[in-house]
Every structure is written in structure tokens, then in C-alpha cells.
A and B are shown apart, each in its own frame.
Chain A
Amino acid sequence: MLTLAWVPARAADTGVPAPALRLLDGQGRQHDLAGLRGKVVYLDFWASWCGPCRQSFPWMNQLQQRHAKDGLAVVAVNLDTEAKDAATFLARYPASFSVLYDAAGASAKAWGVKAMPSSYLIDRQGAIRSRHIGFRPSSAAELDAQIAALLQTP
């Protein structure tokens, strides 16, 4: 019975091309992940009710500030079912990177998000290099190093 009800999503794994991601931002403009080919992308799935997401936002702002010139794009996909929850969160923790909205959660399913927050590091060729589950300020330095190294590779 349980197995019938449960349809496993194909997880986005490391080394494989990133699944398609086409979502709207707060202004209703469509963004396509494929349009960022040639850049290193830090893709983060978050929701307003997720505790570690609060800690990750200031760090992602810093990341965007420091590495935008090196060809890094930080993209955060909001998975709140209520748009106003996300707005309240963003008022408290402003984001200087692009925030896209997916209330239905279809993208999270396609990417095989296992926990909140989940982030994916995508290289310039559009392949997933690593995935991170959760966010701890203590492990941010390790992520920083990983991103810096990936920015060095063409």
C-alpha cells in the first residue's frame, strides 16, 4: 500500500547535468537555469519556516557580493505554500541574490530535495558538482573553499 502511494523522485546527483529549472521571480519575470550556463551557480531551496535557512541568508548575501565578479550566481528557490510567509521572511532577512518562487514544489521534487535547506553547486558546464543538505555556519568555510575552487576552473 505504502509503496503504491509513494512515487520516488529521481534525485539530482553529483556529476550529472542539472535538471531544468524555469521559475518566476517576485516581479513575475521568468528565469531559466540554463540561461546561467557559463557561470557557477549556487542553487538553494529554502522556506520561511526553516531555521537554518535564516542563518544561510546573510552568508549567501556575502557570497554573492564577493564572487559575483568571478562569475558566481546565487539562486534561491522558495518553497513556501503561502507567498506572504516568504515576504515576511525576506523583510527580516533581505536577499541580494535572485529569489524564485515555486509554491507547488515541483522543482524540489525534480531535484530530489531531501531536507530543508538543500543546496546544489553547479559548474560552468551546467553539471551538478556537489549537494549540501542543511546549513551550519561552522561548515560555511568549507563551502566557501569549494566554491572558490570551482570558480577557478573554466
Chain B
Amino acid sequence: MRICLLLSMTLLAGCATVQPWEKGHLAKPIMAFDPDPLTARQHKQIYTSKEAASGGQGVGTGGCGCN
């Protein structure tokens, strides 16, 4: 019972509502999935060619790293 309560309290603490005006930290470039779109695209191109896989990343490659 006590463990259950403790667990639920921990879970509750994890649920924080971020208000629109509290998004200052989230708006920082470092918080973005891809801070630099060009670099991200380049990484995907290299990744797909090195893994000999194509598609699924939105970047066209033939697996040879040539296109």
C-alpha cells in the first residue's frame, strides 16, 4: 500500500504541465531534435550510405553514398 502510494506520488511529480509562457528553456536551439537542419541531413545521408540501407529517412541515397 505504502509502495503503491509512493509510486503514484512519484508518477504524479513527473506530470508537469508546461504553460505557454514557460517554454523559454524548451525554445533554446539546444533543445531541438535537429539544431541544424543541414547538418542533420548530412548525417542522415552518411548514415544511410554506410549502413547500406536506403529510404526511411527522407534523404535519398543509393547505398553507395554517391547520391
Contact = CB atoms under 8 A, between A and B. Distances in A.
B28 interface: yes
Contact of A105 (B16, B17, B21, B27): B21
A50 B27 contact: yes
B15 interface: yes
Nearest to B21: A79
A49 B23 contact: yes
A85 B24 CA distance: 10
Interface string A1-31: 1101110000000000000000000000000
A113 B20 contact: yes
Q: Size range of the interface on B?
A: 10 to 19
Nearest to A107: B21
Interface string B2-24: 00000010011001110111111
B24 to A, nearest CB: 5
A36 B17 CA distance: 33
A1 B5 CA distance: 12
Interface residues of A, number: 23
Contacts of A118: 20
Given A1-B11, A50-B27, A116 B20 contact: yes
Contacts of B8: 1
Given A1-B8, A5-B12, A5-B15, A116 B28 contact: no
Interface in A87-102: none
A80 interface: yes
Interface in A72-92: 79-82, 85
A6 B17 contact: yes
Nearest to A46: B21
Contacts of B20: 108, 113-116, 118
Contact of B21 (A1, A5, A6, A108): A108
Contacts of B11: 1
Contacts of B15: 1-2, 5
A4 B12 contact: yes
B28 A113 contact: no
Interface of B: 8, 11-12, 15-17, 19-24, 27-28
